[in-house]
Amino acid sequence: MYQALLFDLSGVLYVGDAAIPGAREAIAKAQASDMEIRFITNTSRRTSQQLLKDLRQLGFELQDEQLFTATDAAHQWLVQQQLRPYCLVHSNIQSEFADLPQDDPNAVLIGDAAEDFNYANLNRAFQLCQAGAPLVGIGYNRYFKLDDELLLDAGPFVKAIEFAAGAEATILGKPSPEFFKQVLASTQAEPEDTLMIGDDVYGDIEGALQSGLSGCLVRTGKYQESDGDKINGSFQVVASVVEAVEYALGN
């Protein structure tokens, strides 16, 4: 049995507004075990408080401190670096950065800005980075699933600014090893005793493997049949979070 278990949210615990069948019971079973449980996400369309509320309304029981978001990590990093960010993020989370000075920006923060990923905004981000401003990404995911569609996530837009400005982004979410390190620092577990359960073969599984964790890919959410052959390394592939928890418990 593992010492710590990390769960992605969307596509693993729920899809849209509905919990994955059996997910509530699986999480309750994991919470009742001796494993330390953490819920981690790059979701940059919801604040931490909104995510906690959403999860509890879906019937999942968790403590506030069990949730780690890339948005929170990005905010903390910007504060530590004393930067004034140009925030190209979703309107739902702009309030998360409202306490930071944003006049005369000297950094660029990119999250899932949805319709705000227009030429003018992306060009502003490019110009700042071209002039030397650091580029910060809330995650590096390629795409996500909403309802029945796969949609572009923030990663391709971060990549575009990197390419155009000759910059290298600091990623404050999955698959960054620093993000996994931050999550593990809140537990007593070592990386080799930790299992990451996710539906994103790149952000969740490859990121976990490169950080020394084990990975378990679920066939829900954004999973595609070809995912098992897309990355190097050994990892489990199971039907859903229900089977993932059973595997983690050694059943």
Break the chain into its structural domains and give their ranges.
Answer: 4-42+178-248, 81-171
pTM of the model: 0.86
pLDDT tens sequence for the chain (251 residues): 899 999 999 999 999 889 999 999 999 999 999 999 999 998 888 899 999 999 999 999 999 999 999 999 999 899 999 999 999 999 999 999 999 999 999 999 999 999 999 999 999 999 999 999 999 999 888 988 877 788 899 999 999 999 999 999 999 999 999 899 989 999 999 999 999 999 999 999 999 999 999 999 999 999 999 998 899 999 999 999 999 999 999 97
Rounded-to-integer distance, Cα 9 and Cα 11, Å:
6
CATH 3.40.50.1000 describes domain 81-171: yes
Rg for the chain, CA atoms, rounded? 18
Establish whether domains 4-42+178-248 and 81-171 are of one fold.
yes
* CATH code at 4-42+178-248: 3.40.50.1000
What's the rounded Cα separation, in Å, for the pair 186 and 179? 11
What does the block give as tokens for 161? 């600014």
